Structure 1
């Protein structure tokens, strides 16, 4: 398809690595701050801006946020690499009888898993797509493998509206919004901000769940139509191993590393503490990053059945966090400049001047989708765009949960266009971006239609 080839060439020619983009955005922000803002402190305006940047990079609260997001990705990946999850994936593959049943199986299960945890959904969808391909190859089943690969990536178009979504899970923390806006908004606005925005008004709101269910039905339907209109592809896949097994003899204290009793007992202890510590939060639907990560830590250790297996999975999963680890501080530096120079209020005032309570969520949706192309991280995007969205929503009287979810929807939908988070899937499935892009772009257009109608009507 010419359009997908053009998109792929566009990304290759004009978009450098996400780390380089983060540096370029930093330089652009410094120039904009120098041009459009005035110095609030004594001394050189440029030096003050650089000081704001440095303070933003080492903002303790934001660094904690970065580590929380890293753990959400890592622990989700670790869960997929456990033996029970691998057995589940292998069990599911036998239901793939042709391209139609394969895309339904892969897309529906991937979206359900990604709604719980985006890291889990990303790797689960990739491995399931690969195993479906291997199953088809072994049993001589005609299959459009790139389409199945695209189906394994659809979890990334619903994740930010799910339980591990960076924006909704962060605003559920007590005082997060107030702390974020404390040096931006005036006292009258701060007094209107809630202590937290719980999941019953965002992720578990009836309108967000309705949009999720619509996509859960509509995306497989579109994929089945594409499956019937497309031709099978040839398959040349080797068996993908979930984890490499080590045949070295276990001696001495190493037996503790491989102790099933110790691992399951410790994992159970974590889950008991989780129930005691967070039962009230669960009842209030106040799900926070620490709460989700604590639960997944206990569950992952139990499912792996030994500390050795768990640590091997950690070693494998940690590779996918390099982008978050090194890019987040740069995004926090950008946020520091925008906050301390007053750029957040300036941008919010601009949106408030051109938007209405009806159109602001739509502006937020499209701007978030655009920002995601350059900042392919929901957490980094919330750090940069979150204060602007919150300030604009308060000025125009837009319900804060709706504004937050509009950002989440926009951020997630252009993952079907931006190949950054597809890299793990491409590595596991051995597909190329140009092979899945024709299908993910179509799914992106379907998702855009659903989310815009949802923001306008619900």
Structure 2
């Protein structure tokens, strides 16, 4: 008799979206049903709420797809490829390799998470190949893990889903909190200070980890991932340049509200322009977009289900019950920290900042209003928690794992350190600043 050991298989992100949908539906039936309504009838009513919300986030879904795809396409352009080649040639030791990868990735991730995610992975691979060719012993898994650090700074940066979404004049919570400009979120002095502390704390961590003796060299990690397109012509650069010109023109059209125009659509508009400029020909850019679309599958599949969850929360009254519970359990002094902690936990199950804001944002906003807390601070507390547990969540690491060729366990044994350091910095930042 052949007994095979049973191993626990963690649900896929799409599986978790389905599980959350079922949990929310059951919770709404149990917690909001009136005694005057039969369970069977109310179950169908709740399912109707789920169906009503299913397509409620279509605009948000497309915005999330585009911010990943446009950022990815920019990262695999030839000018960026050439720049990464020059950067990797600077590596002379393991310490150089780790610090350089980490610093470049965090800076890129702060400007755009899709760009930073792919650029970090490609840079790690380039440095790995350079180390093999030059006979430099490096800790390749640590270098690859450093290429994932953009995902721990992105939500406080210029592609942060929640702060950019609430900056729009017609976002789905505008009736509750109005439109919040990025000057109060991404560009606030508190956010800049917290991110600065995080940047240097992570670099110190990388320096300490990279000083350990290296007893091996990286394996060859394949052909150049960047050579995905080829074509001639400059029409792409012309069109892209015109788009960039229109985008930058917004800085001169808004008077005193200098950054009020920055939202998800504006960021995507500039990413489109920069991508077309760097790829030069329209053929190149089209092929780059086709390549990048493969990474957007999870967003396309999961976001309608998050919309369904939002529909159940909103129309059943479950949202009000949950927010009231938070108000009773918490106080204005500790609610920002509780928001940060809960966001970190929720991100493990909803591995998308945009999807998480769609599900958790209404609860946070409702509780914050009842406590009289500034909405912009709660948005950033949620953003910090969301990006922190990306260091434990493998969903967004899949492109990096494919490009670098390392195993998930080799990534996690280093990202756990990033998680701990980030937890201290973000936790103290939220507790002291908010």
Residues 35 and 240 of structure 1: is their aligned pair in 2 closer, same or farther, counting only changes over 3 Å? same
Tell me which residue corresponds to 1:252.
none
Normalised by the size of structure 2, how large is the TM-score? 0.94
C-alpha distance in 2 between matches for 1:421 and 1:52? 30
- In structure 1, the residue matched to 2:154 is 159
What secondary structure sits across from 1:356 in the alignment?
A: coil
CA distance, structure 2, for counterparts of residue 298 and residue 181 of structure 1: 29
**Counterpart pick for 1:258 among 208, 232, 238:** 232
> Corresponding residue for 1:280?
253
Counterparts of 1:378-417 in structure 2, within 5 Å, are 378-417=353-392
Q: RMSD in angstroms over aligned alpha carbons? A: 1.9
Match for residue 197 of structure 2? 214
Aligned partner of 2:134 in structure 1 is 139
**Per-residue Cα deviation, 1:241-266 (whole angstroms, up to 9, x for no partner):** 302356xxxxxxxxxx7321x22211
Q: How big is the shift at 1:229?
A: 2.2
Q: For residue 306 of structure 1, report the CA deviation from its aligned partner.
A: 0.3
Counterpart for residue 241 of structure 1: 225
2:82 corresponds to 1:87: yes
Q: Which runs of 5+ in 1 are unaligned?
A: 1-9, 183-189, 247-256
Partner of 2:327: 352
Number of the residue aligned with 1:226 = 209
**Do the aligned partners of residues 14 and 92 (structure 1) sit closer, same or farther apart at CA in structure 2, a change above 3 Å counting?**
same
The answer (yes or no) to whether the contact 2:122–2:225 under 8 Å persists in 1 is: no
Using the size of structure 1 for normalisation, the TM-score is: 0.89
**2: CA distance between counterparts of 1:336 and 1:324?**
18
The answer as to 2:303 corresponding to 1:320 is no
Q: CA deviation at 1:272?
A: 2.3
CA shift digits 1:64-97 (9 cap, x unpaired): 0110011000000000111110011111001211
CA positional deviation for 1:50? 0.7
CA distance in 2, matches of 1:333, 1:54: 6
Q: Find the partner of 2:305 among 322, 330, 338.
A: 330
State how far apart, in whole Å, the 2-side matches of 1:273 and 1:415 are: 34
From 260, 263, 286, give the equivalent of 1:311: 286
Name the CA distance, whole Å, in 2 between partners of 1:156 and 1:356.
30
What's the offset of the Cα at 1:39? 5.5
Deviations 1:98-133 (A, max 9, x none): 111111111111111111100000000000000011
More displaced, 142-151 or 264-273?
Answer: 264-273
Q: Is the 8 A contact 1:278 1:291 kept in 2?
A: no
Q: Which residue of 2 aligns with 1:56?
A: 53
**Shift in CA distance, 151/41, structure 1 to aligned 2, threshold 3 Å:** farther
**8 A contact 1:77–1:123 mirrored in 2:** yes
Structure-2 change in CA distance of 1:72 and 1:30 (3 Å): same
Residues 297-343 of structure 1: CA deviation (Å, up to 9, x unaligned)? 11111110101110111111000000000100001001100110011
CA distance in 2, matches of 1:371, 1:19: 15
Report the Cα distance in structure 2 between the residues aligned to 1:201 and 1:130, rounded to whole angstroms: 37
Q: Provide the secondary structure at the position in 1 that maps to 2:364.
A: helix
Q: Given the superposition, is the C-alpha separation of residues 245 and 367 from structure 1 closer, same or farther in structure 2, using an over 3 Å criterion?
A: closer
Residue in 1 that maps onto 2:347: 372
Kept in 1, the 8 Å contact 2:166–2:173? The answer is: no
- Once residues 92 and 328 of structure 1 are traced to their aligned partners in structure 2, the CA distance between those partners, rounded to angstroms, is 37
SS of 1:311's equivalent in the other structure is helix
Deviations 1:139-182 (A, max 9, x none): 00010001101110011111111110110010010142xx4375
How far 1:206 sits from its partner (Å)? Answer: 0.7
- Corresponding position of 1:180: 173
Q: Cα–Cα, structure 1 residues 395 and 280, in superposed 2: closer, same or farther, change >3 Å?
A: farther
CA distance in 1, matches of 2:273, 2:17: 34
For residues 353-387 of structure 1, what are the alpha-carbon distances to aligned partners after superposition, in whole Å with 9 as ceiling and x for unaligned?
11111211111111111111111011110000000
Whole-angstrom CA distance in 1 between matches of 2:34 and 2:90: 64
